[in-house]
Copies of this chain bind each other. A is one copy, B any other.
Amino acid sequence: MRFELTKEFLEEFRQAIVDQNNSWIIEHIHELHFADIADLLDQLTNDEARYVYFQLTEDQQADVLMELDEDVRDRFLASLSTKEIADQLENLDSDDAADILGELSDDKIQEVISQMDDDEAAEDIVELLNYDEDTAGGLMQKEFIQVRVDWPVNRCLVELRRQAENVENVYTIYVVDDINKLVGILSLKRLLFADTKTLIRDLFQSKNIISVKTSDASEKVAQVMDKYDLVTVPVVDLQNKLVGRITIDDVVDIIKEEADKDFQMASGISEKIEENASVWRAMRARLPWLLIGMFGGVLGAQVISGFSVGISKVPLLASFIPLITAMGGNVGVQSSAIVVQSLAKGNIQFSNIFQKLAREGLVGLLNGSFLAIIIYGIATFILGNSTLGFVVSISLFVTIFFAAIFGTLIPLVLAKYKIDPALATGPFVTTLNDVLGLFIYFTVGMLLYHI
């Protein structure tokens, strides 16, 4: 029941484009879901995609346009005239239209807007362009169904029929008072079974209405919709007037982007970056962390060269440098990852920081003891060097303990000062723990070897 884009189909399709076999194209495309059409267009050249796109119905065009890969869409839009863009925007939901316009230069935006035929749609888009894209205002759409609390059901149904033409998915009807303040919601199901004379006042739900403000951050919107299991959420302005709604699909995208960002941060990639970004952007996203890592390496080199007399006497000491730094780094990253995740879920109270530290410290002590015993065994019985085994196991234990503490503390401190705590999970914690671990290791080594 689901379409699979095969090489053969793609070949046939391309041939049909070359042959300008429109009936074949339309027939085959008509069977496809818009998301699949978008997948298909993603695989074509811009000229081919353009050709197919303009064979689609207006409704299909709007749906397909929003499902295209961002790069493909940008390329496609760049090949359209401002009038053509204006025509496309009129078929889109206002939030999508605003997103697309937002990518253009100010001059071009003005030009496109002035060429739109539908004034109301143009007005909605202009309003949406005012909001920061990372806020509820930037996420919301102007397409929603609202009814007045003092209307009877039959008036409501007439309004609904009129408004519903522009609204793709009606999940919830918003109920407002005479000055447009949001006072409650009404489910379509409820309306459907009500007597036509009943007033909305006697039918709607006014308790526990969850809404967001235009200025709320998009992460906040995602948290609210997730917490309250909402499919749509109404957006109100500072006066509690209803100005838009946000649907779950936009929020799913945010949740995924947030998770991606944290994952990339933890992996030492500083900008949100697509898999097929240019080599230059890929480089730029990775260099900052690598430079920090290199700076840490130079610091580590300074620490070690301070002990070079000792190393020249006991060169074997150098052998366990990577073990100490790797373990300090690993433990630190583990601890900070746990903290970053709880922070992202919004369930850390700063009142129990000490409890958290104690806990991570304890896990560190236990893991440290266990690993210290094993490495002592390996060094003594397999490598046959018990003094070295003693040095490595003691310093490993101390390093792991401190790594657990710092790994927990650093993201908490960053969050306290409103810096993204995910910063901590990358080379930051690793570098700090490297330098600290080296210092501990060589100090213990010098002491036990009496150098």
Interface residues of A (CB under 8 A from B): 1-2, 30-33, 35, 157, 160-161, 164, 169-171, 187-189, 192-193, 207-211, 224, 226-229, 231, 236, 240, 248-249, 252, 255-256, 259-260, 262-264, 266-269, 273, 275, 279, 282-283, 286-287, 289-291, 293-294, 296-298, 300-302, 304-305, 308-309, 311-312, 315-327, 329-331, 333-334, 336-338, 341-342, 345, 347-348, 359, 362-363, 366-367, 370-371, 374-375, 378, 383, 425, 427, 430-431, 434, 438
Contacts and interface: CB of A to CB of B under 8 A. Distances in A.
Given A169-B231, A228-B35, A294-B323, A308 B304 contact: no
Given A291-B371, A341-B264, A434-B326, A210 B33 contact: yes
A281 to B, nearest CB: 10
A333 B268 contact: yes
B275 A338 contact: yes
A292 to B, nearest CB: 9
Given A264-B341, A427-B330, A321 B321 contact: yes
B169 A294 contact: no
Given A231-B249, A308-B319, 11 more contacts: A160-B192, A188-B188, A229-B249, A248-B248, A264-B341, A268-B334, A286-B367, A298-B375, A301-B383, A317-B318, A326-B434
Contacts of A324: 297
A72 to B, nearest CB: 13
Classify the interface of chain A: helix, strand, loop or mixed.
helix
18 contacts: A259-B260, A259-B262, A262-B263, A267-B333, A268-B333, A282-B359, A282-B363, A283-B367, A286-B363, A290-B334, A290-B367, A293-B327, A297-B326, A300-B326, A301-B319, A321-B321, A325-B325, A325-B326
A207 B31 contact: yes
A335 B261 CA distance: 15
B323 A321 contact: no
Contact of A259 (B2, B263, B291, B383): B263
